Structure 1
Amino acid sequence: MAEELSGVTVVFIIAGGVLTIILLFIFAKRQIMRFALRSRRGPHVPVGHGAKKSLKKEIHRRVDLIPKIVYEPQVINDNDSRYILPPGSQLPPFYYRLKACDDVKLLEKEITKQDGSLHRHPTENLRAYLLNTLGTPLNGVGQKLVQQFCDLYEHARHDPADFGDEEYQAYSRILLKLMDAARLLKNYGGNRKMSPRCTPVRAKPNEKNREPVENKTRDRRDETESNRESNETSV
């Protein structure tokens, strides 16, 4: 009887140990999966799971476009009563900064009005955009004006130093010159500087130059055929 009890006890001990190991394994696996899912940026289920291949491609295409959606709003409303002040009162110190950020949109609208292909994306560098678009109408002076304008714009937007009425007046004077240059873009439509991001398009070969080449190849082909026929007849 003692031997039977000892055997049953051993079986129970082994079964309990195996069960404990299995439970620990399942618990560890669940914890690892929880941490892995928490650290992932994507959803737990793949996007478009179970959908058609074409629909899944369209879903992924639209999801990839989300980081490119950027918008620069107008920061000052013209009808905002906070900036309609009685005579003798001072504007808040941040007003000129906001006004300078909004005035850039006026310049961009004028450039786009003259040439619809010169639209600037909010993520595109403003300095490079203005140098590429307004360099030709300003005839060499444009680079200096654009640099000064962009320096004042970055001062208004990012620099913690004061940006008051004096800085804004200098900013506005340069803005008016750039607006005048933007109105001349229609006259320089074909001579405008090309953006460095654009790849040059290879010019197609001229038809006049193509005709002699085609004639030469045709003559050579006729000569080879005639030589081949003469060789066959001689044989």
Structure 2
Amino acid sequence: MFNNIFQPLFFNQYIISPRTWLHTIPYNMKVYLILVYLFFLPYLHDIYIIISIILYLLIIRNLALPQKHIFHLKHIVIIVSTIFLHNYILNIDKQGMNYANTIVVYHKLPISIFYSIPIYIFRSTIIYIIYISLLKILYSTTKYENIIKCCVKQTTYNNYQSKYTPHQNILIIILASQYIILLAQKIHLLLQAIRLRNTKSYYLYFYSLHYLLNIVILDIYNLASFIHIRKIYINYD
């Protein structure tokens, strides 16, 4: 059950090929626009959320990305947005009937488990799906080093009391994120090796954990030595 433990991480989601028009957009503009839009998204009116869904579907339609990256999200957005739009129009009709008191309406509204759900639930679901979808597009078309660079530059721009410069912070974060990728791959290989042996021996898990800890200690030593040597080289350059 630990095989997919690192799947939520965005480090390995960047798509090298095929390249799309989103790859050509400057990464800082792309990161800032998406983050600003996601910040204001919960405060937008319902009609603007519907427009956002339409724009998102048009972008997905024009992207030459593999279907496994966008297939399920696209269909979820279509299904939920259809129900959301139906409830939105239904609420408009109900509001219009409040002003027509002299007109007797004999039309019976269909009642189902979906249409009886409050519209704010669909609104929250749509906002969550848009969040996940836009972040997935960002991670698929932007290298995570560039995303980290944008975030770190903004957080350390006015922090003059920091012990490290922004460039040092970026270097530390990038090295740490790269090591997380390598560590996740090593854990995945260890779990696959245990599964291939088709055994449930706890001793095997114990020795695997001991082996993994030794690897981590050795990697930390090598990484610290590399950083130290590089720092001395830069100081004497």
Q: TM-score, normalised by structure 2?
A: 0.23
Higher CA-based Rg: 1
Of Structure 1 and Structure 2, which has the larger fraction of its residues in helix?
2
Relative contact order, CA 8 A, sep 6+: which one is greater? Answer: 2
Q: Scaled by the length of structure 1, what TM-score is found?
A: 0.23
